[in-house]
Amino acid sequence: MSDVTAEVMVLVRHGRVDDLVRVLAPLAPPMRRGIAAALKEYVKTRDAQQRIRTPALLVAGAGCLPTAVQVAAWLNRREFRFQRGRGALIIQALTDRGVTWAPEIIGRVVDALPTRDDWQLEIEWRFAAELIVASGAPTPRDDPFVIGWAMQQGYGRGLTTLERLRSDPFLPDLLPRLFEVDGVGAYLTSLTGETGSSITAFPAALATLAAEGQVDRDVLLDGCLGRFLRGGPAAQLRGSVQLHTALAPTEAETEARTLDYARLLPATAPAVATLAQTALRRLDRAGRLELDTLLEGAAAILRRSDRALVRAQLSWLDSVARRERDRVGDVLETVEHAFGQEDVGLQERALAIVEAHASACTPEVRARLAARAARLSADLPARARSSLGDPGPVASAGVAAVVAVPARRETVRAIGSSAELAAELAALGQGGKVELERVLEAIVRLAATDRAGLLNAVAPVMARHEKATAEYAASPWFGPSLLDKVLDIVRTVRDKRPGPGLAARARGEGGGWIDHALERFVARRLAEAGLWVSERPVPFLLSTPTWTTGHIDPHALVDRIAAAEAGGGRPWSTDMTQAILRLPRTIDPDATARAARLASPEGRLLAEVLRAGGTPDPRTRRVVVRRLRGRGESVADKARPDDAVFVAVDGVHADPVVQTLFRLDPPVPMGHGAEVLWPAVLPSHREVIAAHMLDHFEYGFRGTFDALVLLAECEGPCGPAMVLAVAYGLSAQHPEGRIAAVDALVALLSSGELEPGALGAELGALSVGGQVKLSRAVTSLTELAKAAPEAAVASVALGSVPSLLAHAKPPHGTPDLLALASRHVRPGSTVDADAVTHLAAVAARGGSSRLVTEASRLHRILAAGSVQPATRPARAPATAG
């Protein structure tokens, strides 16, 4: 190593960048090549990883590496990414060599800017910018460079965003790109840092610069409008919206861009459409907007779903109708677009405008408007008939006719071969569709008939599962996985004796600390099978369901017990318990008669249960418990109110195993397990299942509410637990939960098993108590109205009115619920007097709040029992199929 090389390396190690530049400057190319080789060796060492050495390494590399490509690759090295800097000295080192590579190197550094990692981009951008400023290279216009530039604008020492932008070398070149690059919009309003913490700092600074004449106002304004026209998510547009506001375009500027503003009305984000609407209205006030442009834009707005925009547009059109007496007809036919709004309040406002000016338009227009008004909601068609005239017979609005209820009783198909069993077992392990009953049945049957085939087919699946789980110690919180519980049975078959722990689990002990009561019951059955499959084998299980709901055909059960009696084997006890619990509620008398001829203890028990008409229902009652609070609560958990509503079960059953399910007081805090399996445990007592599952429903896990549809397919009376379960479902956070609840409710209402008024009362109480969000329930009820009888929907809505309105400050969504009730209530339906009193009280308050408006409307409709709303033929619910 030459002296110079050694000296350079010492300087690098000490991070003495300035001296390094001085030493490198006079060197001849051969010297530099020697240093380059040394650098390449050095950078591989651990020593070079010290971040303090990075700038020196960069400078040395720039001064010595032989080609522009190599220098660029050196600068882009990953290990330098945290401490890149001293760009000016790097350019100095290049200049001292007399090479003109800077632009090419910069191009490569800019190309390498990260596109996904914001945090990294922010760091690396500064290095690229240093190189550009120092070399005087042209400003790159690549997307990451523009985004990186925008990210910098909130930071700086003591300078405001405005002060920094004034002296920013990149501003003139990058300003137009600010509106073109995807993804840069979010940074215009998310500035943080010493002086730029305001979300409007950047837009305001640009507006000020425009006012000072430092940047072109037209560039900014056209940039904003172009950005709006190209559209995008609201968050990306917010910066441009604020810039537009800060620029405060003049009338002349707006007029020059009238068409652009008009094109923003139909489909852009609400904030943008609002801004365009305001701009156009201002032009209109100044008499600088053509009526046709106005009306075309208004029609587009009135088809949107943003209430504020529609409301503003309607008042604007009202004033236009007053002014343009020659074209009142055109104006009103534009107003008519708002008749298609779902919100009754908006419909009413539109109708009021039409009524006010109808006298000024031709009879033909009036007749057309009258015909269209017949399709309005609630009591508005009746009102339109008296104000606009009778439109004659009107085609039905076509409300809910098809009720899609899944086939309730699909037969369970048995597994045909050991190969099929192996595939199903593998699926259990992958969280696929749980087919536990079929798997269980096949294992027990094959263990008795084809032991070798069973073991041969299942061995690879079992081995794979054991290998995959070998490294994980079992958690005491969760018991063995479902697959493990099933494989325990196969292991007993293989080893010809039950494994450890099975006896305890079969007694309902062991398992996970947080196993759900229903999960324990399922586990008990599986453990029992594992315990006896080798020592007391049975040719088949008693409890295998006949139908997918979990029910067993009573005849099938009689047959099975008779076969067991003939075969001499003694059925397993939990298996028998489960079989009895799976009997349907309506029983063929023939089956009862056949059961009476059975002799074994199981046969006598079956005969007794069938004679008694099934297992009696335990009582259930609604209880309010104090929520357990803990330090580990998430933000969402903290928002939950202290009071939680559950249901206690008070029942007595002779069988101690069933007793664990028939008594639930106080309700358990939380239990873990496979929810889809639980309804089939008690398919004729869904109220009990619902009570046990309320902890899940109340907490609203994603996917939990699928079980609600299963419960709707089960049988049994619907008490407080079912009502509560549906109420939680209707106000679930995720759409699929709400839709599942609607499906369940459609089925329960069409069979008349759930009382809609009780559900309404519960929804009202929960909303007032803060346990659920009413506005979510309203969206569910709107969906329900498409499939359930109108009267039932109205009963649910009306049922919630007393508790909602009794509250001093009715929860958010109350007006929407009242409007929903108005849309679906039928005159002559029996209404709780309490509801009417509360509605009258709110209506009497006066004022123009939505609550008062909607309460008055509903009160008016209920009071005017004789008025017929729009004709809606009630069609019989049909099952899809």
Binding region for other proteins (CB under 8 A): 115-116, 180, 182-183, 226, 229-231, 233, 259-260, 262-263, 266-267, 300, 303, 305, 340, 342, 398-402, 404-407, 410, 413, 417, 419-420, 422-423, 425-427, 429-433, 457, 460-461, 464, 706, 709, 734-736, 739-740, 742-743, 783, 786-787, 880-881
- Cβ 779 to other proteins, closest distance in Å? 8
DSSP state, residue 677:
G
- In sequence order, the β-bridge partners of residue 879 are 403
The 3-state DSSP class for residue 403 equals strand
Contact 655, 577 (CB under 8 A): yes
- Cβ 735 to other proteins, closest distance in Å? 5
- Cβ 343 to other proteins, closest distance in Å? 12
Phi and psi based region of residue 619 (left: phi greater than 0; alpha: psi -120 to 50; beta: remaining): beta
Comparison of 184 and 835: residue with beta carbon closer to other proteins:
184
Q: What are the phi and psi torsion angles at 96 (to 5°)?
A: -60, -30
CA 570, distance to chain mean position in Å, is: 51
Contact 862, 831 (CB under 8 A): yes
Comparison of 62 and 425: residue with beta carbon closer to other proteins:
425
Contact 659, 703 (CB under 8 A): no
Comparison of 115 and 362: residue with beta carbon closer to other proteins:
115
Comparison of 442 and 457: residue with beta carbon closer to other proteins:
457
Contact 423, 512 (CB under 8 A): no
DSSP state, residue 474:
P
Task: Report the length, in residues, of the chain.
Answer: 881
Comparison of 266 and 569: residue with beta carbon closer to other proteins:
266
- Cβ 858 to other proteins, closest distance in Å? 23
- Cβ 398 to other proteins, closest distance in Å? 4
Comparison of 64 and 820: residue with beta carbon closer to other proteins:
820
Comparison of 182 and 665: residue with beta carbon closer to other proteins:
182
Contact 216, 179 (CB under 8 A): no
Label residue 663 exposed, middle or buried (CB < 10 Å: 0-12, 13-18, 19+). middle
Per DSSP bridges, beta strands 643-650 and 663-664 are antiparallel
The rounded distance, in Å, linking the Cα atoms of 645 and 625 is 6
- Cβ 148 to other proteins, closest distance in Å? 14
Comparison of 37 and 407: residue with beta carbon closer to other proteins:
407
- Cβ 532 to other proteins, closest distance in Å? 27
The rounded distance, in Å, linking the Cα atoms of 329 and 337 is 13
- Cβ 124 to other proteins, closest distance in Å? 16
Comparison of 114 and 193: residue with beta carbon closer to other proteins:
114
CA 239, distance to chain mean position in Å, is: 26
Comparison of 664 and 725: residue with beta carbon closer to other proteins:
725
- In sequence order, the β-bridge partners of residue 626 are 643
- Cβ 407 to other proteins, closest distance in Å? 8
Half-sphere exposure of 713 (CA within 13 A, CB side): 23
The rounded distance, in Å, linking the Cα atoms of 23 and 60 is 10
Fill in the amino acid letter for 646. F
Comparison of 118 and 565: residue with beta carbon closer to other proteins:
118
Q: What are the phi and psi torsion angles at 167 (to 5°)?
A: -105, 15
Q: How many helices (H) and strands (E) does the chain have?
A: 45, 5
